[in-house]
A and B are shown apart, each in its own frame.
Chain A
Amino acid sequence: MAVKHWALKKSLWVYHVNTGACNNCDIEVLDLLTPRFDIERFGMILVGSPRHADVLAVTGTCTRQAMPRLQELYRQAAKPVVVLAIGSCAGAQGIFTEAYHMGSPVDETIRAVDPNAIIAYVPGCPPKPEAMIAAVVKAWDVIDTL
């Protein structure tokens, strides 16, 4: 989709959730706000509440402690919402799959409360900011059709 077409649409509200991770993905998500990547020129903004989010940017492995919280936050997000599972941890718990404090992976956790959840995966450890932007653009295509 052409960036120009997309930029004419409304702003994309992104709510960021960390479910137990090393923070690398989170910092690269924050990096998107800064001058070099500047997602605000694409109309993407990070918001402070999930209630009006278009995109739930989830990082982390989803530890046992974070599981119910993630489910609660997903429920609060206005539907339709696209879940962006950012990083190998959010995709499949990364290198931590065998660790004892893992909850179920992010996608299973969310599908347990909404089997029809829309989930996009951005692999990488961490994914580069460019990859994240590409993922949001793809996700935007999906939102367009909803």
Chain B
Amino acid sequence: MINIGPFHPLQEEAEFFQLYVDGERVVDVDVRISYNHRGIEKLDESKTFDQVPFVVERVCGICSASHPLAYVQAVEDIAHVQVPERALYLRTIVNELERIHSHLLWVGLAGHFLGYNTVFMWAWKYREPILDALEVATGSRVNYANCKIGGVRRDMTDEQLKEIDRLATESYGPVEMLTKAVIDDPVLHARLKNVGVLSKADARAYGATGPTGRGSGLPIDVRRDDPYAAYDRIDWQVHYEESGDVFAKAKVRLLETLEAVKIIQRAVRAIPGGEIDAKVQNIPPGEAVGHVEAPRGETFHYVRSDGSNYPVRHKVRAPSFNNIPTFKASCIGQEIADVAITLASVDPCYSCTERMCAAVDAESGRRMFDFAQLVKLSQEKTQRLRRQL
């Protein structure tokens, strides 16, 4: 029996994620992103080049370190800046710490959507030491203000580096245990395999990146393909899976989290001494692009300069902009109980999903489920599968 929601005063309003259902299946998907649009690209045209990083780290809180880095890399290309080695390693450490905390956040949310609420508590508990490490590294749990054009703003002492290493290393054991538990759990296999499948061809045509792309067999990672920071100076590996389903994306994220710990450990050991800032004075006219591998995928920036103190144009493209549309390819034909986890597998910003997603009947337009109900359906499906197995 399908629950039909009460007549809702906001019914006519387009939700952030609007799903059209026919019976038990999704037939179409639409997304409105105007809720979060703030006008950052225009704002940046009125900021000086070195004010911009403070603005763009607030594009999205979970990919906070990736945006300033992509931006400064573009400007460093325009100005032909040679960033000091030590700064490259410091950038790497902060960005990998962010990857760990972002992926653990995702694991917690996915656990909640599937009805594994202890996973939510557990993943977010193990996130805390990583946020502590970021506070040691940059002075803040989130919003690091560490990047500047030409290097980084703050150095790290040997004690701080040791502390960061210790906190990251301590998270390895628990995350490894969770990874094994997820990969071996038959209920999760039943729940997530062949769910939300995104084909490799679709992934490429939509320009999907990050775990969304790598989960569909796309062997791409900006850190390896167009190396930046210290990624080509450290030994590490890219993880990807072929099946394109939610299980594959989850596995990629977990393995990347473990890999991130290794990268941090190696970076801490290999980091050279020296300057942290190339002390750039002037940005000449020109244009360039800068991209980095954020936890969600590729963050891509374009900057044009005319020699003044202000960017003429700054394009900011977060990874979710390319990944969210893949939802159309991976969600159509799915049963409603799988919608919450398929949407989560693309890892859109949490706030966007939580309050602003609804399923409406394709014919009548009547709102059928809000997001809380979709999550409940998902959790109930897990329960059913658990009883069957």
Contact = CB atoms under 8 A, between A and B. Distances in A.
Interface string B98-127: 000000010000000000000011001101
Interface residues of A, number: 41
B35 A65 contact: yes
Given A30-B350, A34-B125, A48-B372, A24 B58 contact: yes
A26 B125 contact: no
Nearest to A66: B35
Contacts of A16: 354-355
Interface in A20-42: 20-28, 30-31, 33-36
Contacts of A36: 125, 128
Nearest to A76: B9
Interface residues of B, number: 38
Residue among A18, A69, A94 with the most chain B CB within 10 A?
A: A18
Nearest to A96: B38
Residue among A22, A26, A35, A99 with the most chain B CB within 10 A?
A: A22
A65 B124 CA distance: 31
A118 B104 CA distance: 36
Contacts of B127: 34
Given A27-B105, A31-B124, A98-B46, A21 B39 contact: no
A59 B42 CA distance: 22
Interface stretch (B60-68, B226-234, B251-259, B323-331): B60-68
Interface in B112-156: 120-121, 124-125, 127-128, 141-143
Contacts of B160: none
Nearest to B40: A99
Contacts of A76: 9
A126 B36 contact: no
B10 interface: yes
B290 to A, nearest CB: 20
Interface in A78-114: 94-96, 98-102
Contacts, number: 108
A27 B354 CA distance: 12
A7 interface: no
Interface in B76-100: none
B270 interface: no
A120 B296 CA distance: 34
B355 A18 contact: yes
A141 interface: no
A95 B55 contact: yes
Given A23-B62, A48-B372, A63 B38 contact: yes
B355 to A, nearest CB: 6
A35 B121 contact: yes
Contacts of B372: 48
Nearest to A75: B9
Interface string B1-36: 000000001100100000000000000000010111
B206 interface: no
Nearest to B14: A65
A74 B261 CA distance: 44
A22 B59 contact: yes
Contact of A95 (B13, B35, B54): B54
A102 B38 contact: yes
Contacts of B39: 96, 99-102
A21 to B, nearest CB: 7
A20 B43 contact: no
A21 B143 contact: no
Given A23-B60, A99-B43, A61 B349 contact: no
Contacts of B120: 34
B387 interface: no
B351 interface: yes
Q: Which 8 A-B pairs have the closest CB atoms?
A: A24-B61, A99-B39, A18-B351, A34-B124, A23-B61, A65-B34, A101-B39, A100-B39
Given A20-B36, A65-B37, A99-B39, 19 more contacts: A16-B355, A19-B35, A20-B37, A21-B61, A23-B61, A26-B351, A31-B124, A34-B124, A34-B127, A35-B124, A35-B125, A59-B351, A63-B34, A63-B38, A64-B34, A66-B35, A95-B58, A96-B43, A128-B141
6 contacts: A30-B350, A31-B124, A63-B38, A76-B9, A96-B43, A99-B42
